[in-house]
Amino acid sequence: MADRDAPLRLLSVHAHPDDEASKGAGTVHKYHLEGVRSTLVCCTGGEAGEILNPALDRPEIAERLPEVRAEELAASAAIIGFDEVVMLGYRDSGMPDTPANADPGCFARAPLDEAVGRLVEVIRRERPQVLLTYGDDQRWYPHPDHIRVYEVSMAAVEASADADRYPEAGEPWEVAKVYWSVWARKRMEEMHRAFVDNGIESPFDDAWFERPSHDDRITTTIDVDGLYEIRAGALRAHATQIDPESPFWFGLPDEVLATIHPYEDYIRAVSTVDADLPEDDLFAGLR
């Protein structure tokens, strides 16, 4: 386990428990193996999530879903290799026009200055050189909490470096590099071809490929070859959210899934250091 004095430090900001497993799990584990300190900020408890695994869709689990999801998050974070998990303390906002979205305690309705201040405190305490978050275009999955993660993350990075803002949150800290996680269109195309080649019905219909693509904006690609079991294990830890029979996640044999697009892709949004693009290292220019 790396402590806060580790020479390289990474902070990942996510909306809900399970997002850390589906976005960047291989990247974080790769750097964990190199001794990088990795901290996960989870902005909500995922309270509005449904139980998506039929085997666990039982009243006794539904009654304590927030506690169950916290347990799942802890298990996933341990598999990935996060050194610390920080809960930002907001309720899941659910989707628009739902009761969860009308809750004044939900993340999407929290005053921006308040949410930014909470994240600034974490940034100044952890002093990450690299921060992973979500991008400016959320049309692919416009969940209110994902949009808010982008807004809060980018505002907090700026505020953290300013000594005049949130002085009670600690000494100012400038994050050197910010990356936005991307699910590449190429990755989905390769998955679709693998289903077809293996004679299995693909979950990818035309609508999937009509969604906005960010492939032309990708600046940074991390090789996570050999880390499929980590990525899959983190997903499976979220047993209420990930159906082990899901064709999207596990519809292909493991040995096939392990070979499909063994990379995780990012858009570099901020860099205060010189590092040529394209990159294959989030810490390029920092070591």
Report the amino acid identity of residue 30: K
Exposure string for 27-55, b = 16+ CB within 10 A, e = fewer: bbbbbbeeebbbbbbbbbbbbbbebebee
Q: Is 103 within a domain?
A: yes
Query: Which pLDDT score is estimated for 227?
Result: 97
Q: Is 227 within the bounds of a domain?
A: yes
Confidence (pTM): 0.95
Answer whether residue 64 is part of any domain: yes
pLDDT digits (tens, 9 = 90+) for 43-66: 999 998 889 999 999 999 999 999
Task: Tell whether 198 is covered by a domain.
Answer: no
Predicted local distance difference test score (pLDDT) of residue 270: 98
Instruction: List the domain range (segments joined by +) for residue 117.
Output: 9-184+215-271
Give 85-110 pLDDT, tens digit per residue: 999 999 999 888 888 898 888 999 99
In a domain, 283, yes or no: no
Residue 278 lies in a domain: no
CATH number at residue 155: 3.40.50.10320
Distance CA 155, CA 168 (A): 17
Count of structural domains within the chain: 1
